[in-house]
Amino acid sequence: MADPNASAGKSGLADSRPLSPHLQIYRWPITMTMSILHRVTGGALYVGTLLLAWWLLAAATSPSAFAWVQWFLGSPLGLLILFGYTWALMHHMLGGIRHFIWDFGHGLGPGERNTYAWANIIGSVVTTVLIWIVGLLAFSGAN
């Protein structure tokens, strides 16, 4: 049996067909970006939960193991990881609230979906920064 697409190339039809949108020319809607970020932050929360389990196991194991984990999490890399984990937690939580609102049939219009998506991004950044400011202020006096 002959390939049906083989003759299209000979007649020039394949050259006149439109190309599929490519990532370099396709503008992603904010709602699609938020869907991808929601999945990525969900995966990041698994890694953050492993960090939490590592911290708890070290606390239960020995003072030296706990001191090492505390040192790592207090290092610039550790603080960056914890900051990212905090943002992932806030972003995923606000995305869940957005989906919960949608479950009741509210905010499904195109303008509302975009507004909720931007509110999710802005809200996650703002709450992350506020949590870290409060945490740093609370623990700065503990030293």
List, for residues 117-128, the tens digit of each pLDDT value: 999 999 999 999
pLDDT for 116 = 95
pLDDT for 16 = 65
Task: State the pLDDT confidence band at 40, using cuts at 50, 70 and 90.
Answer: very high
Residues annotated within the binding site are 92
pLDDT above 60: residue 24: yes
Q: Average pLDDT for residues 7-23, to the nearest whole number?
A: 59
101-120 burial: b if 16+ Cβ within 10 Å, else e: eeeeeeeeeeeebeebbeeb
**Domains of the chain by range and CATH?**
28-140 (1.20.1300.10)
pLDDT for 143 = 57
For 12, left (φ over 0), alpha (ψ -120 to 50), or beta? Answer: left
pLDDT for 22 = 66
Q: Average pLDDT for residues 89-100, to the nearest whole number?
A: 96
pLDDT for 15 = 63
Residues annotated within the binding site for heme are 92
